[in-house]
Amino acid sequence: METSGAAMTSSLQEQSRLNRLFFDFLGKDAGVEIVQDLERHFELRSMVKKHEGKVDPNATLINCGAYEVLSFIKQRIRFGEQNK
């Protein structure tokens, strides 16, 4: 799959715009409090559910998914701050 230079530039510009939005809305003031609250509830939580003596793989996937979402949000905020 080939991507033209113009399409790649447009995509990068869109990513930069979105990064700035994440920073503007979640990287300052109340947004910082929102992210911290999400971290308290979802980050580094170890969730193990057992059914008939075996670990439920779905519980592990849910926990990993929450961590991935928080990591993505924090990464976008960092990139947005760099793109000010």
* pLDDT, mean of residues 48-69: 75
How far apart are alpha carbons 42 and 50 in whole angstroms?
20
Query: In the chain, which ranges are E strands?
Result: 50-51, 54-55
pLDDT value of position 20:
95
pTM: 0.71
Whose tokens are 């990993």? That residue is 64
**Chain segment 7-47, per-residue pLDDT in tens:** 777 899 999 999 999 999 999 999 999 999 998 887 666 66
In angstroms, what CA-CA distances link 6 with 13, 17, 18, 79? 10, 16, 18, 22
pLDDT value of position 84:
72
**Is residue 79 within 8 Å of 19, Cβ to Cβ?**
yes
Local confidence band at 48 (pLDDT 50, 70, 90 cut-offs): low
pLDDT value of position 5:
72
